[in-house]
Structure 1
Amino acid sequence: MHRDHPRPILQPTYSFDWIIGSDEPGAAHRLAQETSWALLDRVRQGADATVVERVVGLAAGSGIDDIAELWSHQGAHSLAGLLWRLYLLRRVAASDPEGTADLFRRGASLAVTIDPAVAGAAEPVTPTSISELCETILRGVFAGDLAVALDRASSYCRILSLGAADLADDRDAHDDAHAAQLTTRSLRYSTLAQELHGGARRWRDGTLE
């Protein structure tokens, strides 16, 4: 479903530092595209479970730091931008597993759509099951159907958006500042859901950059 993309030569960290700060127009954008497509192609073609686990594990450690600056500035119309969003979801869940699980439980109880079934979190929803869900979604990117993984992530974000909005309502009477933060978080998750859903559509129709 994806287009052919040139495979870049792997470069050391100092090369990334140089090109991020380069005055050459579009240099960082091109490198972000090349690294994301090369990573996806290499892991998929290898079909090695060990390699897949290593790539998924980047989200839980510092291994993604070299490319974080590149990918974090890419839009959701690109593979680099989508991969960054998926890694970000994994990092957020890892940094606050209890809070993320609480938001998911709240959102799932309010959902009137099939999003809980699409997201596919194991019951009962716990910090561990949420972490496992995020890893399963990432694993699906490299060892499954990318569009399905993006749709699952989109449903996951919609549920978290509902949960954050519900918690904001609870906090509103007691802590205005926290309620405002939660409302902002809800809007961000809603935006992520839309972006990931759009990415799944682009992957299917072959227009993902």
Structure 2
Amino acid sequence: MSEPPRHSRPILAADLERLAASSAEGEPSARLELAHATAAALVSVGRDGTDDPGDRLVRLADTVGLDTLAELWRGAPPDSLPGALWALYLLRTWCTENGSEVARLYRTGRSLAPVDEVVAGVQDDADPEAIASMADTVLGGLYHGDLDVALERGAAFFRVVAAGRLFLAPDGPDGNAERERAGRNRACADGLGRAADAWRAGTLR
């Protein structure tokens, strides 16, 4: 299985902030190329085994800000490496900052998507702490474990949450916003699933 090319040093927070500023000013094609390059470099640094990043890369959004990562990766296709990174960093931020709400949606949806619940691997109590721990573990899997497994766990989690949203959404127009959010959750899941398939095929970039 192919992996991104190795880089000799980590991408520092200042690097990402500078690159995000350049991305915001560039042409769409240049922004997309930069998204792929930064995502590949980041994953390469985390997986090369010579410089264990610990929590540093998992907590990257805390360091540089989610807006910086959004400038770099949000516009990338959801089944690309930068698109997958963006989805998982967004998931971690969401689980950390809105843990009670995410836990409520997850607990509601898990009986409706039992296979996905098993794949997601949230502890049985599925309280906010367990939800946040899962998000850290999934994101850490990009750098320390099987990347396709991490992507599939993220996809499964989004599917469970989407099922919970649909179940809890009120009937009629009052529930339209929640149904739209559920659709976005499912779209994230689909993108992460395709990204996992591409990683196994050696074509993810």
Give the TM-score category using the shorter length.
0.7 to 0.9
Note closer, same or farther for the CA distance 1:12–1:157 as it changes in structure 2 (3 Å cut): closer
**TM superposition score normalised by structure 2:** 0.88
Query: Could you tell me which of 9, 28, 36 is aligned with 2:31?
Result: 28
Taking a change above 3 Å as real, the CA distance of residues 189 and 52 of structure 1, as seen in their structure-2 partners, is same
Rounded Cα–Cα distance in structure 2 between residues aligned with 1:129 and 1:12: 30
Query: Per-residue deviation at 1:46?
Result: 3.4
The one-letter code sitting in structure 1 at the alignment partner of 2:34 is L
Between the aligned partners of 1:12 and 1:115, the Cα distance in structure 2 is 33
Of 72-81 and 25-34, more deviation after overlay is shown by 25-34
Partner of residue 166, structure 2: 165
Q: How does 1:1-209 map to 2 (within 5 A)?
A: 1-5=1-5, 7=7, 11=15, 13-14=17-18, 16-23=20-27, 26-46=29-49, 48-49=51-52, 51-60=53-62, 62-111=64-113, 113-168=114-169, 171-172=170-171, 176-177=173-174, 179-209=175-205
Q: Contact between 1:106 and 1:163, CA under 8 Å: does it hold in 2?
A: yes
The answer as to whether partners of 1:8 and 1:38 remain within 8 angstroms in 2 is no
Residues paired across the two proteins, number: 201
Cα RMSD over matched residues? 2.3
Query: What letter matches 2:88 in structure 1?
Result: L
TM norm structure 1? 0.86
Residues in 2 aligned to 1:149 and 1:208: alpha-carbon distance in whole angstroms:
14
Three-state SS of the structure 2 residue aligned to 1:116 is helix
Residue 41 to residue 96, structure 1, CA distance change in 2 (3 Å): same
Q: What SS class does the counterpart of residue 55 from structure 1 fall into?
A: coil
Using the alignment, how far apart are the partners of 1:15 and 1:84 within structure 2? 15
Instruction: Provide the C-alpha distance between the structure 1 equivalents of 2:119 and 2:56, rounded to a whole number of angstroms.
Output: 25
Residues 103/15 of structure 1: CA separation in 2 closer, same or farther (3 Å cut): closer
Corresponding letter in the other structure for 2:190: Q
SS in 2 for 1:52: coil
Distance 1:197 1:207 in 2: 14
For structure 1, list consecutive stretches of 5 or more residues without a partner in the other structure: none
